[in-house]
Chains A and B, each alone.
Chain A
């Protein structure tokens, strides 16, 4: 189901030919392939691993979707992702309790998003440039304040538990936040005024402005949203306990360019156009699922580490070709 096409009928054919459906189908095919190569793929333990990979970056991809439907993008998510855990660590060693340190750190992520949004809208700098500059600046800040050293995250309940360090009936708390965030973001894009305004901003900014859409406010909101998500999920992953593959530490290289590129890739594979106007939150989830299955599967079958990147590259290009083709069909009325 594409955004805007509310209440379309479902049929087996429409599910397979829809963008999200085809991505799920590819993920299933990959699962079958990887299982036939190594039976360890189809185990509960491995599904937990895939869940961990998704928890780490899928919501950031969804945040990226909110920007991409407007024709914007955020390249600073990887830097913000490493910034917040460090700020929590720093505020903690300077004697602040976590109930102060965590809000301050998240506020820093909000401030980064707000700066991205204001610079992009007020000075008409392309988001690509604003957030590229921001990426450099925040990455450097991370390295300066950390002296390039990894630090153990402060431990204080219930904050550690809430912000990614806990588990609930065996499920990672951060995974629950991830599921919740997806529901909220999907509703926001497809069922709320903010989503409608975001899509119209990406599709026809001048026209949307003419009819009364507050284009600049909509853009700033989404920059703040995306950056805040990156800050929160960076914190969740830093607090992640050992049983979920975490190390409970703030690492200046957490996130980084890999997260930036994978979040954009997941959004693009999920059917979001880079030119604005179309995209879905659920698509970002499935895009992230596909990337995670690919990454995990190639690791399990013992493939060369670079083969993942090769295949990811092909997947990105292929999905963009599909996007452009489907938009052409829409334009020509077919």
Chain B
């Protein structure tokens, strides 16, 4: 792994929901400028893993170490404050607002001097949004268009742009291509490659499609029944091997 340590590290995370052990001592490391893919069958614990990292759930035991220091998140806002941004499947995007208002939602640029009444600096936000989208090679012509009029891939771009703008150090993407067509999927994968090329963001990618994950990821982590059962460098592995590992883990767990 690179010269530097991981941006974020999850150590021996355990989390139960009643009698169900969702995570049973799972660990994960994410490095800047790299994409790590989390793979596994349904119910393997992928969602729980990222929900703990993004502050939605609190782990029963285990540590989260961010840039060398142990951190505790009581809410997604805590996680976002240190720079862990999550793009959920539902995108947390507001269809009835414009592209630039979505990018700046809850972190609006306001006119200073009016503390009690928060007037929006719309022109400033719109200009910044244009620059930002240009930077991420997005084909969004009009930042004043309502997000509801955009395609699924363009909405994904808006969500990513928002995270990047607010200097995410870790970007978690949960099934970013789940509802997209072929061309749109290609665009989102390109977007992830762009993020990787920036070199300062660690991307954690969750997807069902092994082929897609292997295209963009540097490393894959395979979860089964709340445990990491295998970890592979993409360079020295293959889709077949990874598929085999997931299937074996899944079958093994069913026999028990």
Contact = CB atoms under 8 A, between A and B. Distances in A.
A196 interface: yes
A212 B117 CA distance: 19
Most central of A197, A200, A333 by chain B CB within 10 Å: A200
A277 B95 contact: yes
Contact of A4 (B97, B107, B117, B151): B97
B106 A213 contact: yes
A4 B146 contact: yes
B150 A333 contact: yes
Given A191-B122, A277-B95, A208 B105 contact: yes
A210 B120 contact: no
Contacts of B57: none
A93 interface: no
B92 A211 contact: yes
A6 B77 CA distance: 29
Interface string B119-136: 110100010000000000
Given A4-B97, A6-B144, A204-B93, A211 B106 contact: yes
Contacts of A277: 94-96
B199 interface: no
A190 B181 CA distance: 35
A212 B106 CA distance: 5
Interface string B139-167: 00000101011110000000000100000
A103 interface: no
Interface in B85-104: 88, 90-98, 101
Given A192-B117, A202-B96, A213-B106, A207 B150 contact: no
Interface residues of B, number: 32
A148 B147 CA distance: 52
Given A191-B122, A199-B94, A5 B105 contact: no
A contact face: mostly helix, strand, loop, or mixed: helix
B contact face: mostly helix, strand, loop, or mixed: loop
B98 A330 contact: no
A160 interface: no
A193 B144 contact: no
B119 A204 contact: no
A197 B120 CA distance: 12
B108 interface: yes
B94 A200 contact: yes
Contacts of B96: 4, 199-200, 202-203, 277-278
Nearest to A331: B148
B224 to A, nearest CB: 28
A7 B149 contact: no
Most central of B118, B119, B151 by chain A CB within 10 Å: B118
Nearest to A7: B144
Given A6-B144, A333-B150, A204 B95 contact: yes
Nearest to B114: A192
Given A5-B146, A6-B122, A196 B92 contact: no
A196 B76 contact: no
Contacts of A193: 108, 110, 118-120
A211 B144 contact: no
Given A203-B94, A207-B92, A330-B148, A212 B119 contact: no
A8 B144 contact: yes
Contacts of A324: none
B225 interface: no
A212 B98 CA distance: 17
Contacts of B90: 204, 206-207
A278 B106 CA distance: 18
B80 interface: yes
A204 B122 contact: no
A213 B144 contact: no
B2 to A, nearest CB: 31
B92 A333 contact: no
Given A5-B98, A192-B120, A330 B93 contact: no
Ranked nearest first, the 3 interchain pairs of A and B with the lowest CB-CB distance are: A212-B106, A207-B92, A277-B96
Given A4-B98, A200-B97, 9 more contacts: A4-B97, A5-B146, A193-B108, A193-B118, A194-B118, A196-B101, A200-B94, A208-B94, A331-B148
15 contacts: A5-B98, A5-B146, A191-B122, A193-B120, A196-B105, A200-B96, A200-B105, A203-B96, A203-B97, A206-B92, A207-B94, A208-B105, A212-B106, A277-B95, A330-B146
Interface of B: 76-77, 80, 88, 90-98, 101, 105-108, 110, 117-120, 122, 126, 144, 146, 148-151, 162
